[in-house]
Amino acid sequence: MSAVKKTAKITLGLFSFFVLLIVIGAGYIYVNMDNMVKQFAEQAASDALGVPVTIEKMKILLEDKKVIVSNIAVSNPKGYSRPNAIKINEISVVGESFSTALLTFSNISVEGTTVNLEVSENGTNLGDLKKHVEQKSISNKSTPLTKTKQASEDKPQNNDKQKDLKVIVKNFALTGAQLTPSVTLLGNNDLATIKVPDIRLSGIGEKENGVLAEEAIAQIMNSVLERFNKSSNSAGFLEGLSLESLNAIGISTGEVFKKNLKKSYKKEVKKFKEGFQELKNIFE
């Protein structure tokens, strides 16, 4: 066999080997795509909230541009007794358009949310989550450009491009959420679970032509946690917290005053009715 033929044979063999590797690699990615995306979603949510977030199952329906995420658990911040602050049965995500740099979602719907509220003298678990989300969002926006540029120069150029992925969420809805006061300052174990009003958001990242995935999660969770905190306050689960602590978790002084005024009014009406009934009994 001539040297030319021998070289061609070796080259063809190497080419076939590399083609085989590419096919195997593509097959591996296709088979394990759900798990790979699940890990990215868990990491982005954990970074945004500052606590571990786990996903039991994720199903990707490519033809429908749809992702179904099942059994999500948001861990409690340090210092609280329960393992999880929030558990979600299912999140359905419907895509609109995808590119290597921008993902646009037409709709995200969240169903079957259970919230375990824990209240301490210094605040609540939901309040701590909300404060972390706000601080992380502020730090991301205020990071100097030169510092960001220097950091990117110090890192390998191919390092986690997924973290630079931007998203737009056109519509978000959280429905049927329930909030349980598992630990409060009231010393009352008979407090009932309440239903949280539905939460609907729109236009997340549209003005900016996309925001980082972590920032989109932060914007959504900030609004959701604020609603949870306000529902907790309206139900009386936050009794005993200082005004400063209430303000820190997004409940304004005006809301506290309005709630106390309403409670005082009901108390006075009750006294009036009792007094009127006693007076009525005297003359009967």
pLDDT tens readout for residues 42-67: 888 899 899 999 999 888 888 888 88
Residue 272's domain comprises 252-284
Overall domain count for the chain: 2
Residue 168 and residue 243 share a domain: yes
Q: Among 176-185, 215-224, 264-273, which stretch is predicted with the lowest mean pLDDT? A: 264-273
pLDDT over 70 percentage in the chain: 67
Residue 262 and residue 241 share a domain: no
Residue 257 and residue 124 share a domain: no
Residue 169: pLDDT band with limits 50, 70, 90: very high
φ/ψ (deg, to 5) at 90: -155, 140
Record the tokens describing residue 8, joined without a space.
């061609």
Q: What is the pLDDT of residue 85?
A: 95
Which carries the bigger pLDDT value, residue 217 or residue 281?
217
Please determine, for residue 156, whether its predicted confidence score (pLDDT) is greater than 60.
Answer: no
Residue 111 and residue 25 share a domain: yes
Residue 268 and residue 130 share a domain: no
CA nearest to 50, candidates 79, 78, 80: 78
Residue 230 and residue 266 share a domain: no
Residue 266: pLDDT band with limits 50, 70, 90: very low
Record the tokens describing residue 9, joined without a space.
């044979």
pLDDT tens for each residue of 98-132: 887 888 999 999 999 999 999 988 889 999 999 88
Give the separation between CA 37 and CA 66, rounded to whole angstroms.
13
Q: What is the pLDDT of residue 27?
A: 47
Residue 2: pLDDT band with limits 50, 70, 90: low
Cβ-based neighbours of 55, under 8 Å, separated by 6 or more: 38, 41, 42, 69, 70, 71, 72
CA nearest to 54, candidates 92, 87, 91, 93: 87
Residue showing tokens 């085989």? 20
pTM for the structure as a whole: 0.73
CA nearest to 223, candidates 144, 136, 160, 133: 133
Please determine, for residue 177, whether its predicted confidence score (pLDDT) is greater than 90.
Answer: yes
Mean pLDDT of the chain, nearest integer = 77
Please determine, for residue 251, whether its predicted confidence score (pLDDT) is greater than 60.
Answer: yes
Give the separation between CA 67 and CA 60, rounded to whole angstroms.
5
DSSP 8-state symbol, 114: E
CA nearest to 105, candidates 231, 216, 263: 216
Give the separation between CA 177 and CA 126, rounded to whole angstroms.
14
152: left (phi over 0), alpha (psi -120 to 50) or beta: alpha
Q: Among 185-194, 208-217, 218-227, which stretch is predicted with the lowest mean pLDDT? A: 185-194
Section 195-219 average pLDDT: 92
Please determine, for residue 141, whether its predicted confidence score (pLDDT) is greater than 90.
Answer: no
CA nearest to 219, candidates 199, 243, 189: 199
Residue 262 and residue 168 share a domain: no
